[in-house]
Amino acid sequence: MSTSPVPPPRPTAGPPRTATVPVEGELDHESCGELLRAVAAHLAARPRVDVVRVDCGDMSLCDSTGLSALLQVRRDVDAAGRRLLLDRRPAHLERLLRLTGTADYLLTDRPD
């Protein structure tokens, strides 16, 4: 069971046109909606953001619905004309992305 794996966005020390959404704990069927809402809030509230970073460093698990949420985040960010980066990916997420063939889609820049 996951508990609030997507804490509120935190200020970043990076470039000013970047929004970071941290993911903590499990990204699963109970929590993926929080990630989608957090990214949507960034896209709506911060139209000058060029890059959305999902910080996966504290993610303890990503199941199939979590992967589906990451794919939806990619589609949403692409549709908004922004760039998505998945930062600090833990080994289990790397393995999932490679096994499912989604790494190329999620980890590369969108075509212009």
pLDDT digits (tens, 9 = 90+) for 39-98: 998 888 767 788 999 999 999 999 999 999 999 999 999 999 899 999 999 999 999 999
Predicted local confidence at residue 42, as pLDDT: 85
Predicted local confidence at residue 10, as pLDDT: 55
Global pTM? 0.84
Higher pLDDT, 45 or 12: 45
First CA to last CA across the chain, in angstroms? 39
Is the pLDDT at 13 greater than 80, yes or no? no
The label of the residue with tokens 């970043």 reads 12
Counting other chains too, the contacts that 92-101 makes at CB distance below 8 Å and 24 or more residues apart are 92/61, 92/62, 93/56, 93/59, 93/62, 96/62, 96/67, 97/67, 100/67
